[in-house]
A = this chain, B = another copy of it.
Amino acid sequence: MRSYGQYCALARGLDVVGDRWTLLIVRELLSLGPSRYADLQRGLPGIATNLLATRLREMESAGLVVRMQLPRPANVVVFALTPRGAALEGALRELVKWGAPTMSPPSAHEEFRAHWLQLPLRGLCRDNAPGSPPQVVRVGSLDDGCDIAVDGGSIEVAASTPTAEPAAVVDGDPGALVALFTGQLPIDAAASAGMISGDVEAVRRVVGGYPAGMPHLKEALP
């Protein structure tokens, strides 16, 4: 990207991450962890392959990303965030909080990946039953989703892993999924709609609801 030529922390930051697609690539690497090129492409529908290659090269020379050759299996290449790249999480979370009020139902041409919910869910979920034993609630599927792990009052949201044994799995159309976690769709309604398989109480445990996680959701609307 062409530099703004301003001695200003914001402008200097945008010189590095202001390019198109760059922050979405960071989102993918934050959500998925070290990823292969093809995995990044799947999580970034709409990106041109040359653009992804170019961005990864630029981000590597900017110190946001490292490219690694894993010896096994068979010289696989993965891309991972450096600490400097991972430090963008705060900025991404603020942008997510700001963008969330515009999450009206998806339009027909919009793509969706359940693992995109990871960053929002970190702000939206909590443990409503700290005394209960540890549990995992999966959103989406094992191929593409998040595991919300609650344990004694603390929560962790990460990409779905085969080792986790979810007490409940929540899935459904994107608009309903978002509505559920922002408190616009009651859990009972989601259950009746067949969005929840497994223990509905586990879902009730983690859904923090809209006012706690995003108190400004309404007043920030235009």
Contact = CB atoms under 8 A, between A and B. Distances in A.
B99 A7 contact: no
A5 B46 contact: yes
Interface residues of A, number: 57
A179 interface: no
Interface stretch (A90-98, A153-161, A197-205): A90-98
A57 interface: no
Oligomer: number of copies: 2
Interface in A47-106: 62-63, 82-84, 87-88, 90-100, 102-103, 106
- The A interface is mostly helix, strand or loop, or mixed, namely helix
Interface stretch (A10-18, A32-40, A125-133, A187-195): A10-18
Interface in A105-131: 106, 109-113, 116, 119-120
Given A5-B109, A7-B103, 11 more contacts: A5-B46, A6-B116, A8-B113, A9-B97, A9-B99, A10-B96, A12-B99, A13-B96, A16-B99, A82-B222, A84-B222
21 contacts: A5-B111, A6-B46, A6-B110, A6-B113, A7-B110, A7-B174, A7-B175, A9-B95, A9-B99, A10-B23, A10-B119, A12-B102, A12-B103, A13-B99, A17-B95, A63-B222, A83-B219, A87-B216, A91-B91, A91-B98, A94-B94
